[in-house]
Amino acid sequence: KITINNEMASRNMSSNSLKSHLPPELGNLHAIQFLDLSCNTLFGNIPSELGKLSFLNYLHLNNNSLKGYVPTEIVTLLSLKYIYLQNNFLSGELDEIWICSQLLDYNLTNNYFSCPVPSCCDGQGNGLCEPCLLLPSPPSPSPSPPPSPSPSPSP
């Protein structure tokens, strides 16, 4: 269970064997600047209520089982400068202005984000965003070998 203390400025719960969804009540941590819930078994969507954290600078949600979109409320959070969402099941489009202009550091790899990825991800070889679909599609089945020629009948 994730406990909430509204006056907390920093919360590191990384690698705590948490198995839960992210509660919307996290949006009540009004003073929080650093939130690390990485390396747990968190699932479900990222709650839009995190967009109410007007002092949040660092958000670590990497290495979980989160799915869905990155909420617009987080993308428009001007205080957020560092975000780590790698190794989840997130999808949707990435906002180029948010990633390329606002964030100082980020890692978005190993998710299912849509093409095209923002230009600051795609051309720099920085490894923080991978080209296009960030997780490879399942391999296509190999073509069947041509049938063996049948022996011709003898006269």
- Residue ranges and CATH numbers for the domains of the chain are 10-122 (3.80.10.10)
| Residue 19 confidence (pLDDT) above 90 | yes
Name the β-bridge partners of 21: 43
**pLDDT band (50, 70, 90) for residue 153:** low
pLDDT band with cut points at 50, 70 and 90 for residue 123: very low
Q: What is the arrangement of strands in the sheet containing 58-60, beginning at the earlier edge strand?
A: 10-12, 34-36, 58-60, 82-84, 105-107
pLDDT above 50: residue 119 = yes
Per the confidence metrics, is the pTM higher than 0.85?
no
Compute the Cα dihedral for 91, 94, 100, 102 and give only its sign: negative
What span, in angstroms and rounded, lies between the C-alpha atoms of 151 and 153? 6
pLDDT of 79 > 70? The answer is yes
Centre a 10 Å sphere on the Cβ of residue 128 and count the other Cβ atoms it contains. 18
> For position 15, what pLDDT does the model report?
84
* Phi, psi dihedrals of residue 44, rounded to the nearest 5°: 85, -165
Tell whether the model's pLDDT for residue 81 goes beyond 80.
yes
- At residue 151 the predicted structure's pLDDT band, cuts being 50, 70 and 90, is low
